[in-house]
Chains A and B, each alone.
Chain A
């Protein structure tokens, strides 16, 4: 099963852009990854799914165009443009693997985004 790696923190100024990265472990370059936003004290919110070729399917409900993704090699990146105060929070990437009794869902450690 894949392991997912995320930097623990990131920061960006209001109105700027930031790219958050999620790196899959070696040998898992074909996996899709789901990005989730978690505001303080809230449950996660699905943002977008990304594969090696870019976005897969549709974004989550109400997710603005400011959020975009790129998939390259083992990296699945989320870019947020024109950052707003409401974008502050934790960003998690997750991926599922296997079927039946081997099914599992793995998450990265999460990146805490601070809006300056």
Chain B
């Protein structure tokens, strides 16, 4: 059974760095093809992809946010961590992590998602 769960601070001040953790089970990020991505959804708005990390530790970032994002993994803990610097009130959103798989240079759908964690940026 594949599960993912996000955790992190509910409130963060502007200019601070946000660190979110995705704890997962039911698969291993050492298995070739496995990947975990991060997304966000501001209240009442669309989903937005942020970053993705594959089993080989290749990192993929949304171009417009690349300078602020870092994605990494702790294989022993089955966790993927996303850091976002210089937080601003416009970054207020629910943040999700999800799993996908890479086959023959093609990504599958994000087939399992976490429940999300709401982050509010406010002084």
Closest partner residue, chain A, to B94 (CB atom): A43
Interface centre among B105, B113, B114 (most CB of A within 10 A): B113
Residues A103 and B60 in contact, CB atoms below 8 Å apart:
yes
Interface centre among A43, A60, A100, A108 (most CB of B within 10 A): A43
Q: How large is the interface on B (under 10, 10 to 19, 20 to 34, 35 or more residues)?
A: 20 to 34
Interface residues in A, total, Cβ within 8 A: 25
Which candidate, A12-20, A21-29, A44-52, A70-78, is the interface stretch facing chain B?
A44-52
Q: Give the residues in chain A near B63, CB-CB below 8 Å.
A: 104
Does A54 count as interface, using CB distance less than 8 angstroms?
no
Residues B52 and A103 in contact, CB atoms below 8 Å apart:
yes
Residues A46 and B52 in contact, CB atoms below 8 Å apart:
no
Binding site for B on A (CB under 8 A): 34, 36, 42-46, 49, 57, 60-61, 92, 94, 96, 99-101, 103-110
Task: List 9 A-B pairs, minimum CB-CB distance, nearest first.
Answer: A105-B49, A43-B113, A34-B109, A107-B47, A103-B60, A46-B111, A109-B46, A43-B115, A46-B109
